[in-house]
Chains A and B, each alone.
Chain A
Amino acid sequence: MATETNLTQGVSLDHHHDDHGHEHHEESFISKYIFSEDHKMIAKQFLITGIIWAFFGGAMSVIFRLQLGFPDMELSFLKPFLGHWLDSAGKLDPNYYLALVTMHGTIMVFFVLTAGLSGTFSNFLIPLQIGARDMASGFMNMLSYWFFFAASVVMFSSLFLETGPAMGGWVVYPPLSALPEAVPGSGAGMTYWLISMALFIISTLLGGINYITTVINMRTKGLSFSRLPLTIWAFFLTAIIGLLSFPVLFAAALLLIFDRSFGTSFYLSEIYMNGEALHNQGGSAILYQHLFWFLGHPEVYIVLLPALGITSEIIATNSRKPIFGYRAMIGSMIGIAILSFIVWAHHMFVTGMNPFLGSIFMFLTLIIAVPSAVKAFNYITTLWRGNIIFTPAMLFSIGLVSVFISGGVTGIILGNNALDIQLHDTYFVVAHFHIVMGSASFFGFMAGVYHWFPKMYGRMMDEKLGYIHFWLTFVGIYLVFFPMHYIGIAGFPRRYYSHTSFDAFSTFTDLNMFISAAAIVTFLGQAIFAFNFVWSIFRGRRAPENPWNSNTLEWTTPVSPGHGNWPGKIPHVYRWAYDYSKPNADKDGFGDFIPQNVPLSKTPHSNLEHENEIMNEQHVEDDLKINDHK
């Protein structure tokens, strides 16, 4: 419908659409809040589900950090939550420690930072920022959320299985994950995990197909690709990466299902279990790793790119400056997207890979530092001498730049296939990806929530609580993850239940306690956010139409846009999204920002030379058209 409106450019059709569309019929509770096809409601559904999952995932990490930091601690007070996961002495059962680690990883990577982040902001911002009434297919969009919800239900119910949820790590490498006898969680728990992930992949593909179709086909008039806000570029590329990589994970999971339940031998070979030889012959466990990491590495960028896009938007807006190097930003995102597909084997340097092949993957991996550095420099140069407004969203964005750099630097170390022999599977790796992928994406997520909350709920979040939340989180994550580099270099392997039986590690007992204490404080700090979020939905200060004086189209809608987004005509776009503090804008009657929907002819004093040229060309063209009509 919206495409038709775009194509026919007539006001009459617009009115027609609005009349029969949404104003005259009351939506029932179910069609408005539950099976909604409105992209804004679906975005909120993703957001709230994501936040709930984040608290579950975070709580799990606190429990296993208690085990790691205070190995002798009695955890009986957690009995009401953990039940038989604790043994009679009040200690965490080692199997369930592994379950907690596995579930923490799965939940955070897929449910929070993929569905929660990309699902929320792609859904919310794509139609609003490109000037569309909704997604290309509202129905597919609704299905995307409900497949995610079904995946969530299956994953959540696996927590209550007698034998526990999956315990093989979030990467679920066979043979550990393929043999139910290997660990309790590889029984029913693993089956639930695979079903849940299959549903999740369907959800991601449905969402991704919709995002790409919408961005390409439903942009409002004048919004060429070279004028798209960087947020949309980021969501667009993220969706493409997802579309190309998730089917491969599906293939890997399908073969694993056949191995587990049908007796094939894709990943299994020559295994003895309790002294008995299994029938499986000729499988290859490394094959699974190749397939898994072909998704797994792009997944890192599926998680990170939306956060980077959100940051670009927020930093430019709150520095009151155009983003530095707009085209370089797009180029580096495309570069990252392409490179993400040809570096997967750097996760597999120690699998017996040919060292020459390893050095090729090292070379390709290190190239990613180039576009990443371009992005980091562009953020900093955008901030440079800007008229910075420190909103909570801005603080989280600047925080993202900080963790993106400090985590990215260790990536250069890990990407080296010689150094990786020492560092592989240690806490150094844990520190690296929690800073560069986990924290950076989380900061982008939070920045996005603080920034677009007024558009989502028509109210403002409390700034003071936002500042407290930011500083607790920012200081907290550095205190948690920075020391992990040291214990990683010292050789602490990740995923171990306890390190107390190694004398060499006893000097680091204090450091581990410190990390755990910091993790608990950081986690508790998130309660401030939860309170602020829920309280502001109902009691927050009413938001103005454009609280951050931003240029993009979503701020031209009413405070709480209805289904269809714009009550009247869809605005057209005449300029890029970054006309902040443009020289001479005051002579045209504008402050330090000129929204995208202001025609160039309205701003003769501040137009740049090439903008005047564009305008003149159009004058000539339109004069010809007018003559034709005569």
Chain B
Amino acid sequence: MLEQQIDITDEAQETLSMHPQKFAMWLFITSIVMLFAAFTSAYIVRQAEGNWLYFELPNLFWTNSAILIISSATMHWAVLSARKDNLSMLKIAISITTVLGLTFLVMQVWAWQELVVNGVFFAGSESNPSGSFLYVITGMHGVHIVSGVVFLLIALYSVFTYKIHSKNMTRLEMCATFWHFLDILWLYLFGFLLLNH
């Protein structure tokens, strides 16, 4: 009896813990941050060495920023609807977000075309690292947007097969975290390019 009592009273303490998948998602985001930190700091280091072509950023970047901000808002709307189990609203919100994500990608390609027309090239004898950097930075962000859209499509599929609701939010919440992150990342990159182009 005494032995038993001691075992009960001598209980070990709980350790801190979070949702492992969500936590892993944040770590993944950290590594993406480091990737773009490398690109933007390389940009600054290279710019400081001179022989740098200055040019205007495409105006489409402003429109695209607006598209991403709106998509973040609709993403948040989707999460709120899911929490309230408002599934029809959730379907509309997640669909709009996905379409906006795809629109952003198409518009980025148009922005690149605008750059080429203005004589800013990625490679070749007429290119300058300043232009190449612009393509690499926006291109790598685009690659991540593609992965974000794939994630959105997975979430979209789960929504339409009724796998996401207020009791099962993990996938949608992770998708939202990633999408908001890509949005903020774009705003950082755009702001960075505005200040340093």
Name A residues whose Cβ lies closer than 8 Å to a Cβ of B: 3, 6-7, 136-137, 140, 205, 208-210, 212-214, 216-224, 243-248, 250-252, 254-255, 258, 262-266, 269, 279, 281-284, 287, 290-291, 294, 572-574, 599-602, 615, 618-619, 622-623, 626
Contacts and interface: CB of A to CB of B under 8 A. Distances in A.
B51 A217 contact: no
A137 to B, nearest CB: 7
Given A243-B31, A599-B7, A218 B20 contact: yes
Nearest to B130: A282
Given A216-B17, A221-B11, A243-B30, 14 more contacts: A6-B15, A213-B20, A217-B23, A244-B34, A250-B35, A262-B123, A264-B122, A265-B123, A281-B125, A282-B129, A284-B49, A287-B42, A291-B38, A599-B10
Interface string B71-107: 0000000000000000000000000000000000000
Contacts, number: 157
29 contacts: A6-B15, A6-B17, A136-B20, A137-B20, A205-B31, A213-B23, A213-B24, A214-B20, A217-B19, A218-B20, A219-B17, A224-B13, A224-B15, A243-B30, A243-B34, A244-B30, A245-B34, A248-B37, A251-B38, A264-B123, A264-B129, A265-B128, A265-B129, A266-B132, A282-B52, A287-B46, A294-B38, A574-B10, A615-B10
Nearest to A221: B12
A212 B10 contact: no
Contacts of B24: 136-137, 140, 209-210, 213
B127 A284 contact: no
Given A247-B31, A247-B34, A3 B11 contact: no
Interface in B14-66: 14-21, 23-24, 27-28, 30-32, 34-35, 37-39, 42, 45-46, 49, 51-52
Contact-residue size bin, chain B (C-beta under 8 Å from the other chain): 35 or more
A37 to B, nearest CB: 15
A208 B23 CA distance: 12
B128 A282 contact: yes
Contacts of B11: 221, 572, 618, 622
Of all A-B residue pairs in the complex, the 10 with the closest CB atoms, nearest first, are: A222-B12, A279-B125, A251-B38, A572-B12, A263-B123, A247-B34, A136-B20, A247-B35, A248-B38, A221-B12
Contact of A212 (B6, B8, B27, B129): B27
Contacts of B39: 251
Contact of A287 (B15, B35, B45, B123): B45
A222 B23 contact: no
Given A246-B31, A248-B35, A601-B6, A216 B51 contact: no
